[in-house]
Structure formats: structure tokens, C-alpha cells
Homo-oligomer: A and B are copies of this chain.
């Protein structure tokens, strides 16, 4: 019989593993040559973060009856892949700041940032291969599929920038690829490396995917209701940048003619003036899209956790804690 763990126990497990992962992430680029590549790579990896993706890898290996040790390198690999996307996306978005620090291409230059992204992805594959034993093809295929989906998702997101109209279906298709597929990948490769059976791999993949959808909608919501200091970036940044977020797409669908005309300024001017943020917020509130976002976050979290019924109580409790802390997060 498993003892069902309490939040304190899970929290200390998380902190302990986060520290281990953190060290391994830093070590993956430490003291390597050429310095012109690996020092900037350290800069981006030092900026911290929740390390959610590595954690999903480790927990998935454990849930299927394996252990953390089987997946530490893979845990590093998914975080490197994630940072590869951040570095390249920040160039494309012309973003100045990330996590309260200058983005890599602002700190260095665009060439360095392109190359650091490429280098991180290479090291990611190198690390992933270290944990593969007998299941290399399945693990590498899952990882590569995730990578390809992220690239496809990012392209669709770039298409949104110039699109006059984005439907909520198109929005969901985009976030499934750009965000959810990587979380799905993390769970899948963790399960594979832990020696999981077909149903376990499938269940965890489904968990990761649905958690990813909830996670991205939460991200969009935080741009409006979040706290600047906690978030490490300006509130309403998505509006200023003209991003077609969950809130914006939903609002456009529900707005009356007058409201739609006002909201359309975001499309027409490729982003709004920050003075207009309160007016957008007000329309969002009035149309109930903040509430709808909360409901969809809840819906996809429940869906995620419903995949987990085949696992034992300890693991279910851990996944519940993880899901709750993500959807109630403020950064």
C-alpha cells in the first residue's frame, strides 16, 4: 500500500529534484568551447524558471514504475529544447525582456542568439541519447515529433500576426502544437524511459497534452490578471504586441459590432497603445471571456487528470498537486 503524500512532502520532493535538475542544466553548457557559443548559452539557462518540463519527464518515469535516475538526462534535454524555442522566438517577436532580464539577442546579438538556439537543440539531442537503452527509436521519434510540432505551431502563431480573423478552433490548433505538444512529449519520453507499457504511455501523453492546453490559456489570462513583478514582464504585453490570445479571439467572437470595431484596432495597428489596455480589460470582463478562460483552464485540467486514473494514489496525488499549482500560478 502506498502512503498518500501531503502537499508538504510533494513540495519538498519538487524542491529537491528541481535543484538536481538545475545543476545538470547548468552543467550541460559549462566550461565548454567555443566560449562565444557556450557563455551566451549559460546566460539563458541561468535565468531560472519553474523547470516544469524536466519535472514532467521525471514524474512520468516514476509513475510507470521506473525511477528518476533513468531520465535525468532526458529531463535536461527537454529543458534545453524549451530554451531553444525561447531564444529563437524572442528574436522573431523582437522581445526585449524575459524573466526580468534582457533577451539573449538584446544582451548579445541576433547571430549569437540564432547559434545558441541551434547549439542548445544539438546538446538536447546529445543528452537525450544518453538515457536511451533499447528504446532509442521510440524516444527519439517522440522528441523529434514534439520538436516538429513546436516549429509548426510557431509558424501558425506567426501567421496569426497578419491574419485579420482567427477562430477559436484555429487558436486551439496553434496552442496544441506550440505549447501542448512539448508537455505531451515530456510525459511520453519520461514514460518510455521508465519502461512504461502502451496504456501508461498513452495516459501520460494525454495528461501532458491537456495540461499544456490549460497551461497556455492560463498564460494568456495572466497577461491581463497577473502581477507584473511576479510575472517578470509588463501586464497587457500581449495586447501591445498585437497577439491573438485566447481572450482576444473569444472576445472577437462574442463582441457586438461596436466592440468588435474597437477590438479590431489590435489587428489593424498590429498591437495597441498601452493606454488602451484598461479599455480592453473592460470589454473582456463585460463579455465574460476572463470567466470563460477560467472555465476552459478547469476543463482541460480535469481532462488531464482523468487520464491518470490507471496510476496509484501517490502518483495521482502528485499530479493533482502539480496541476493545481500550475493553474493557480501567478507567473
A101-150 residues at the B interface, CB under 8 angstroms: 110-112, 114-115, 117-119, 121-123, 125-126, 129, 132, 136-137, 140-141, 144-145, 147-148
Do most interface residues of chain A lie in helix, strand or loop, or is the interface mixed? helix
**Smallest CB gap from A152: residue in B:** B34
Instruction: Given A111-B92, A136-B137, A136-B140, verify A119-B151 contact (CB < 8 Å).
Output: yes
Instruction: Given A136-B140, A158-B36, verify A125-B147 contact (CB < 8 Å).
Output: yes
Pick the residue among B119, B132, B147, B159 that contacts A34 (CB under 8 A). B159
A88 at the interface (CB under 8 A from B): yes
Instruction: Given A129-B137, A147-B122, verify A115-B36 contact (CB < 8 Å).
Output: no
Chain A residues close to B by CB (< 8 Å): 33-34, 36-37, 88, 91-92, 110-112, 114-115, 117-119, 121-123, 125-126, 129, 132, 136-137, 140-141, 144-145, 147-148, 151-152, 154-156, 158-159
Q: Report the separation of the CA atoms of residues A156 and B37 in the bound assembly, to the nearest whole angstrom.
A: 9
Q: Report the separation of the CA atoms of residues A289 and B125 in the bound assembly, to the nearest whole angstrom.
A: 40
Q: Report the separation of the CA atoms of residues A100 and B249 in the bound assembly, to the nearest whole angstrom.
A: 43
Q: Report the separation of the CA atoms of residues A144 and B129 in the bound assembly, to the nearest whole angstrom.
A: 9
Instruction: Given A37-B152, A88-B114, A159-B36, verify A122-B137 contact (CB < 8 Å).
Output: no
